[in-house]
């Protein structure tokens, strides 16, 4: 029996997002599939309905690289839905071309972090103030190679072509932790949690530098697991009653690439609260507005400034 619970999964039409949607549908959630390509999302929705016969799914267009698209999606969701229980900030791109979005921001940072930062800001007010309400952010083991290049945020002077991707996924992890601190400061019970999928060939790596791509393809059978397995950390973060705010989950096997779900390792840099605060402030500047929705309803208690 479905219990009038609503979830959003960004990038739900393929890879980890596809199986995250299946897991949430099986758990009784009505799932909004927030996807850039409506045709692919509709096809994925039909496939999921075949696998989960009572699935309640809705497709909505969302291009996370565009603040205009994020705002339109959030406004449309708020018009149609009175509450949101789970927000899975799953969608991501890996693009070494140096492309930027319409606002001149490096595409991976704009999509993987800033789009989700703005989306969460616009929708968190729809979440019931209880521990079952979760914001789940997707990071990556690539965060371990990341730093936030505040003096080169578009990564125009980085020699490593994967630096910008690592920076964007580090930003996702730091956002999740900082959001939890701000929720606690505002006496909110909503949980901000993070997860990473480990190693999985979801199509994300097709845009790697060619040498690294072929090396990855050669090693993939030995170090990766299926997209279905890769979705388990996200589903654990979204659904487990044992989750605590600020937790970070991922596979526990060799080099965190695959295996059973557990608490994931993170770098000391990713736990630096001064960097996280500075990243939060920069993110607000880049989206052109402050993060809203952290005040407890009926209270004047603000979040952290």
Q: Active-site residue numbers?
A: 165
CA 284 from centre of chain: 17
Inter-residue contact 301 to 295 (CB < 8 Å): yes
Quote the strand ranges of 196-282, DSSP E: 248-251, 261-263
Nearest to 26 by CA among 264, 235, 240: 235
Q: DSSP 3-state assignment of 248?
A: strand
Tokens coding 263: 């608490």
Cα distance between residue 220 and residue 245, in whole Å:
32
Cα distance between residue 74 and residue 62, in whole Å:
9
Length of the chain: 305
3-state per-residue secondary structure call for 261-297 = EEECCCCCHHHCHHHHHHHHHHHHHHHCCCCCCCCCC
Element (H, E) at 32: strand 29-35
Residues facing residue 29 across a β-bridge: 5
DSSP symbol at 156: T
Cα distance between residue 24 and residue 2, in whole Å:
11
Residues facing residue 56 across a β-bridge: 30
Query: What is the number of alpha carbons within 13 Å of residue 103 lying toward its C-beta?
Result: 19
Cα distance between residue 51 and residue 176, in whole Å:
31
Tokens coding 131: 């521990």
């Amino acid at each position: 029996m479905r219990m009038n619970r609503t979830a959003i999964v960004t990038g739900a039409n393929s890879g980890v997002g596809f199986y995250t949607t299946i897991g949430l549908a099986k758990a009784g959630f009505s799932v909004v599939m927030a996807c850039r390509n409506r045709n692919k999302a509709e096809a994925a929705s039909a496939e999921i309905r075949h696998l989960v016969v009572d699935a309640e799914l809705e497709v909505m267009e969302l291009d996370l690289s565009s603040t205009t698209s994020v705002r339109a999606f959030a406004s449309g969701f708020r018009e149609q839905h009175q509450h949101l229980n789970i927000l899975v900030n799953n969608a991501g791109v890996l693009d070494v071309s140096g492309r930027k979005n319409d606002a001149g921001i490096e595409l991976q940072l704009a999509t993987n972090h800033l789009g989700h930062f703005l989306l969460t800001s616009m929708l968190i007010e729809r979440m019931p103030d209880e521990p079952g309400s979760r914001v789940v952010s997707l990071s990556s083991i690539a965060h371990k190679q990341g730093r936030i290049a505040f003096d080169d945020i578009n990564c125009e002077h980085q020699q490593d072509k994967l630096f910008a991707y690592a920076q964007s996924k580090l930003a996702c992890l730091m956002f999740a932790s900082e959001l939890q601190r701000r929720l606690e400061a505002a006496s909110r019970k909503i949980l901000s949690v993070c997860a990473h999928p480990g190693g999985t060939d979801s199509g994300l790596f097709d845009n790697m530098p060619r040498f690294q791509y072929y090396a990855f393809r050669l090693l993939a059978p030995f170090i990766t697991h299926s997209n279905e397995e890769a979705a388990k950390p996200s589903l654990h973060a979204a659904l487990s009653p044992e989750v605590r705010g600020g937790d970070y989950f991922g596979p526990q096997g060799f080099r965190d690439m695959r295996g059973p779900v557990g608490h994931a390792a993170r770098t000391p840099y990713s736990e630096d609260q001064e960097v996280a605060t500075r990243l939060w402030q920069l993110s607000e500047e880049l989206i052109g507005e402050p993060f809203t929705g952290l005040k407890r309803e009926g209270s004047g208690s603000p979040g952290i400034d």
